Chain A
Amino acid sequence: QSALTQAPSASGSPGQSVTISCTGTSSDVGGYNYVSWYQQHPGKAPKLMIYEVSKRPSGVPDRFSGSKSDNTASLTVSGLQAEDEADYYCSSYAGSNNYVFGTGTKVTVL
C-alpha cells in the first residue's frame, strides 16, 4: 500500500483559513469513511484532530473541520492561530485490517 499524498507545505496568516488535502485511492480514502487527521508539534506525539472524515474529538476546537470527496479528504483550519503551526497527517483505513498514513503537510502561520 502506498502512502496517501499530501502537499509538503501550506501557510496562512493569523485569522485566515488553510485547507490541506489528502489523496488516496478507492481502496482507502474513497472506499471507507474512516479518515482521520493528526496534528504533530515538533518533538511531540501526534494528536487526533478529526476522525470518521468530519468528527471532532472532545476538546478539539471547532476551527478544525474535515470533509471528503471521492478519493480525496480535506482538513480545513479556520481562524488560524499561532499554535496551529504544526505538521498534519491524514490516515485512512485501507481494508483487510490495514491502515495507511499521508505524507504529511507542514502548516506555517505567517
Chain B
Amino acid sequence: QVQLHESGPGLVKPSETLSLTCTVSGGSISSSYWSWIRQPPGKGLEWIGFIHYSGSASYNPSLKSRVTISEDTSKNQFSLKVNSVTAADTAMYYCARVGGGLAFDYWGQGTLVTVSS
C-alpha cells in the first residue's frame, strides 16, 4: 500500500519561499508521476504541478512562474517550492500519486501552511 506524508514549516512569512517535502513509502517514486495539490481554507482543490522520476515537471500555468517541483529518488521523496508567497498561498497542501487513468489515486493527509508575518 502506497503511503505519502507531507512535511515542512506550517508558517511562512510573506515574500519568502514555501518549502514542503513528500515522503513516499510502500512504493518507489521511480515510477509514475507525483503531484502537489492545494486547498485554501473553505475552498476547492487546485492542481499545482507534477514531476516524473526522470525529472521532467509540469506546472499549473497560473503558478508556473513561482513554483518548482523536484525529486530525490535516493530518499524516495519529492519536494515543492513556492517563491514570493502571499496570504493567497495559505492552504492545505497535499501530495498525491498520479495513477492509472491519470487520476490521483493515493494522497497524503495534507499539511497546513499559513502565510503570515
Interface of A with B (CB < 8 Å)? 1, 3, 34, 36, 38, 44-48, 51-52, 55, 57, 89, 91, 93, 96-104
* Cβ contacts under 8 Å, B94 to chain A: 45-46
B58 contacts A by Cβ under 8 Å:
yes
User: Which of chain A's residues have a CB closer than 8 A to the CB of B104?
Assistant: 36, 38, 46, 48, 91
Which listed residue (B45, B50, B100, B102) contacts A46, Cβ 8 A?
B45
Checking A1, A93, A96, A104 against B44 with a beta-carbon cut-off of 8 angstroms, the contacting residue is: A104
Taking the nearest CB of chain B, how far is it from the CB of A91, in angstroms?
Answer: 7
Interface size on B, residues (CB 8 A): 23
Q: 19 extra interchain contacts, Cβ-Cβ under 8 A, other than A34-B103, A98-B60, A99-B50? A: A1-B61, A1-B62, A36-B101, A38-B104, A45-B108, A46-B107, A48-B105, A51-B99, A51-B101, A52-B100, A52-B103, A89-B45, A91-B103, A98-B58, A99-B35, A99-B102, A101-B44, A101-B45, A102-B44
